[in-house]
């Protein structure tokens, strides 16, 4: 079957006119009409009812058009994919990440990426809000924790948990808690708490323990929690990866309290929508980000 005939037929249907289709395709109207006629003869069915005023799809024509359109779109995507593989990545990549992941030094990674691919423009949204990639037009996102959307394609970077940390200066001033219950008597830096308190669910050798802690500061950004701990404000739950990265960069390390207990963390993933074609610019950024973050994760 001549795919060009299918393409011509689809254009006639979409524009509802032989004349308009001929103009768009740059062909004589007579050629367009003959092409559709040959397609009908090849299929052995009437696809279009022609009147002096309007074209009407037959039932067979409607069924054929709907399936042919899907096939043509798939071919167009395949052509774009093949072209992108041989061309330098270019275009815009829209990327979302939680601000809490600033410890991963995303700015440095993005800087190196755009220097490697100068024709790619990266738009970054740092937000604690859980964005809808498809509805809001994002190409990629970094997601920490359990993925609630099973339609996303995920590349796992690593797994992490939250440990209990405090600065040496705070412990000198307030003393070191000897039991988990002692945490209730200490100042804690609260992450997304409520009314000055927060419940920590800690897993350990004896199973899960729940401790209600209180503190003078409640915040919704983990990077602030880490800075507050280093400043001696109180005890907090911190991602282990964030502490390890800080140590690798020569920053003061907080004291790890109750190392046999941890709060649930989860996986870090680079995710993309599964139901749409990824251009070369998005694929290049996804591959670069995944490789660099995985190497970083495994180096500390």
Q: CB atoms < 10 A from the CB of 138, how many?
A: 19
Question: Quick one: pLDDT at residue 286?
Answer: 94
Question: Quick one: pLDDT at residue 167?
Answer: 97
Question: Quick one: pLDDT at residue 32?
Answer: 82
Cα angle 282, 288, 290 (rounded to 5 degrees) comes to 100
Domain boundaries, the chain: 3-86, 91-158+266-299, 161-265
CB contact set of 96 (below 8 Å; sequence gap of 6+)? 124, 125, 126, 127, 131, 133, 138, 140, 141, 142
Q: Are the C-beta atoms of 239 and 162 separated by less than 8 Å?
A: yes
Same fold, 3-86 and 91-158+266-299: no
Q: Are the C-beta atoms of 123 and 227 separated by less than 8 Å?
A: no
d(CA 141, CA 117): 19
| φ, ψ dihedrals at 262, nearest 5° | -150, 155
- pTM for the whole thing? 0.65
Question: Quick one: pLDDT at residue 98?
Answer: 84
Question: Quick one: pLDDT at residue 293?
Answer: 92
- CATH fold of 3-86 reads Arc Repressor Mutant, subunit A (1.10.10)
Structure tokens of 37? 């006629």
- The stretches in the chain having pLDDT less than 50 are 275
Question: Quick one: pLDDT at residue 223?
Answer: 86
In this structure, are strands 207-219 and 48-50 parallel, antiparallel, or unpaired?
A: unpaired
Residue spans of beta strands (DSSP E) within 83-185: 91-97, 120-126, 140-144, 152-166
In this structure, are strands 91-97 and 120-126 parallel, antiparallel, or unpaired?
A: parallel
Answer whether CATH 3.40.470.10 is correct for domain 91-158+266-299.
Answer: no
CB contact set of 5 (below 8 Å; sequence gap of 6+)? 35, 36, 38, 39, 42
From 3.40.50.920, 1.10.1240.10, 3.40.190.290, 1.10.1740.10, which CATH number describes the 161-265 domain?
3.40.190.290
Q: Are the C-beta atoms of 298 and 158 separated by less than 8 Å?
A: yes
d(CA 6, CA 225): 61
């Amino acid at each position: 079957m001549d795919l060009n005939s299918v393409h011509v037929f689809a254009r006639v249907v979409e524009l509802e006119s032989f004349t308009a289709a001929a103009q768009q395709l740059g062909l004589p109207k007579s050629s367009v009409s003959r092409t559709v006629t040959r397609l009908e003869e090849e299929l052995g069915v009437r696809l279009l009812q022609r009147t002096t005023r309007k074209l009407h799809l037959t039932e067979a024509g409607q069924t054929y058009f709907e399936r042919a359109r899907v096939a043509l779109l798939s071919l167009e995507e395949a052509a774009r994919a093949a072209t992108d593989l041989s061309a330098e990545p270019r275009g815009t990549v829209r990327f979302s990440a939680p601000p809490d992941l600033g410890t991963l030094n995303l700015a440095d990674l993005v800087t190196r990426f755009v220097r490697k691919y100068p024709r790619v423009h990266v738009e970054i949204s740092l937000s604690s809000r859980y964005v809808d990639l498809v509805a809001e037009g994002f190409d990629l996102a970094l997601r920490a924790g359990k993925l609630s959307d099973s339609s996303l394609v995920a590349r796992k970077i690593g797994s992490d948990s939250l440990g209990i940390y405090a600065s040496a200066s705070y412990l000198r001033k307030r003393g070191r808690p000897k039991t988990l219950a002692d945490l209730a008597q200490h100042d804690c830096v609260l992450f997304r708490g409520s009314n000055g308190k927060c419940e920590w669910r800690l897993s350990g050798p004896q199973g899960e323990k729940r401790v209600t802690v209180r503190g003078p500061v409640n915040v919704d950004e983990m990077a602030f929690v880490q800075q507050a701990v280093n400043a001696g404000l109180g005890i907090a739950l911190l991602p282990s990866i964030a502490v390890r990265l800080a140590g690798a960069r020569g920053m003061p390390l907080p004291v790890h309290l109750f190392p046999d207990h941890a709060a649930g963390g989860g996986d870090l993933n680079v995710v993309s929508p599964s139901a749409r074609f990824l251009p070369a610019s998005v694929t290049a950024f996804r591959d670069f980000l995944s490789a660099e973050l995985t190497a970083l994760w495994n180096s500390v």
